[in-house]
Structure 1
Amino acid sequence: MKSTAPSSSIEDYVKVIYSFTEWQDKPITSSQLAQRLGVANSSVSEMVRKLKDQGLVDHQPYGAITLTPEGLRLALSMVRRHRLIETYLVRELGYSWDEVHDEAELLEHAVSDTFIERMAAKLGNPDRDPHGDPIPGADGLVRMPKAYLMNELDAGHTGRITRISDDNPELLRYLAAEHIDLDSDVEVVGRKPFGGALMVRIGNGTGQREFDLAEEVASALWVYSDAPHQGCLVGTAG
């Protein structure tokens, strides 16, 4: 019998499975899931069996783990909660963007659906969080921006920074100190020889500055093309 009130562990698992594939199309493996959650492989194997029994994931032995439609609905609900809470903490309570992830992890399981929807209304129903990740709508739909990893762009590409990975708080603090923010204009100049740093110009006019970005930094930044917006919808309503 399917549970009507998933445990916080189940909610965390489906959210991580979804988040892993949100910006790339490779499904997550058990070992990658264990690494992201900071648990033993044996714990992941046991939980994945439970998720499969509850109809939340598809998984074959030694294969990748994918969400079922029901698992995706639960994951999008949790992602919505997490990102709305992060947005509220930054906008209303003065948190910095490197502080909000862990706080949201705690709060997302504790508040009611009513609280989340009132928070969304208070914020004006934002469509992205402080790091540029899209916030799923209450109907389960997600609008993904047309964005590309900065470290994969050719010289001469221009656009705006539209997403910054929140995996590393120290990197977020570095970017904040350098005033490299969401919606900053960016132009890729080229790459230094022998696999060196990516050379970019960030900002515009007199505020434009040049940076040599290490691979770890460039691979955490996503750039929205100057071409007209062509978002895509993910998930399912209902």
Structure 2
Amino acid sequence: MPRAENPAIEDYLKTVYAHTEWQVDPITPSVLAAKLGVAPSSVTEMVKKLAAQGLVTHAPYRAIRLTDVGRDRALAVVRRHRLIETWLVQEFGYGWDEVHDEAEVLEHAISDRLLEAIDERLGRPRRDPHGDAIPSADGTLPSEPFVLLADARIGHVGSVIRISDRDPATLRLLDEAGIRPGCELRVTDAAPDATSVALVSGGDAHPGVALTPSAAESIWLTA
């Protein structure tokens, strides 16, 4: 049977969690409204409901933070989303630039039983097609030190941990350049208008690739 959770609540919790997954600044109501594409007044009302349910803490005009219970709920949604993305790529031949919107819909619809079956069929994957860690059923989420490519120093060598799925066009460009989670990059140049990297394999560096600031801000490397 479909799940009985409120999709709007799940979207809010997931968005609050995702904002701080790769950086430390908590999310503000205005940023949350922008990310969800809703009016600030709608955020105000929903945050009041979430706080009343013990899912977030929030003082007027201040940042919004998940409680422990809220974080557990958020991670459950994140798990569903990332498993569905992985399922669509591995079982149905979707491109990694095509799965985000599909998963946004399906994460609210499939049953827990089906999700468990998907996880088992896929061999309990640890990361989705973009490199994002998939929380375990008990909410455990692995992490490791990282650096955003846009902030990496010249000469830094690191493996790609994850690539943001927010822009399908950027995913397609990176795919054409051979940049995927797991590949190793060396930063060869950094300027305000571009960051140049070289793919490293077998100890050899291949010809450099110039990335736009937007692309460089979409790639996380091992630190």
Instruction: State the TM-score bracket (shorter-chain normalisation).
Output: over 0.9
2:146 aligned residue: 147
The 3-state SS of whatever aligns with 1:202 is strand
Of all paired residues, the percent bearing the same amino acid is 49
Pair 1:132 & 2:131 matched: yes
Q: Deviation string for 1:194-227 (max 9, x for gaps)? A: x2421211142577220121211111111124xx
| 1:110 aligned partner | 109
Q: CA deviation at 1:6?
A: 3.3
The answer (yes or no) to whether the contact 2:198–2:205 under 8 Å persists in 1 is: no
Deviation at 1:144, TM superposition (A): 1.3
**Structure 2: which amino acid aligns with 1:163?**
R
Moved more, 34-43 or 196-205: 196-205
Structure 2 counterpart SS, 1:22:
coil
Superposition TM-score, scaled by structure 1 size: 0.88
1:224 aligns to what? 222
Contact 1:52–1:58 (Cα < 8 Å) also in 2: yes
**CA drift at 1:60:** 0.2
Q: C-alpha distance in 2, partners of 1:108/1:16?
A: 14
Find the partner of 1:198 among 195, 200, 204.
Answer: 195
Where structure 2 has 5 or more consecutive residues not aligned to the other structure, the ranges are none
The residue aligned with 2:185 is 186
Q: Distance in 2 between matches of 1:196 and 1:8?
A: 39
SS at structure 1 position matched to 2:142: strand
Distance 1:109 1:96 in 2: 21
Deviation at 1:155, TM superposition (A): 1.3
Q: Which residue of 2 aligns with 1:61?
A: 60
Q: Report the alpha carbon displacement of residue 5 of structure 1 after superposing the two structures with TM.
A: 4.5
CA distance in 2, matches of 1:96, 1:5: 30
Listed as ranges, the matches of 1:1-238 within 5 Å are 5-192=4-191, 195-204=192-201, 208-225=206-223
Q: What amino acid is the match of 2:71?
A: L
The residue type paired with residue 197 of structure 1 is A
The one-letter code matched in structure 2 to 1:72 is R
Q: Which runs of 4+ in 1 moved over 3 A?
A: none
Judge conservation of contact 1:203–1:209 (CA < 8 Å) in 2.
Answer: no
Using the size of structure 2 for normalisation, the TM-score is 0.94
Total equivalences in the alignment: 220
| Greater mean alpha carbon deviation, residues 172-181 or residues 127-136 | 172-181
| Aligned-residue RMSD, C-alpha | 1.5
- Secondary structure, counterpart of 1:73 in structure 2: helix
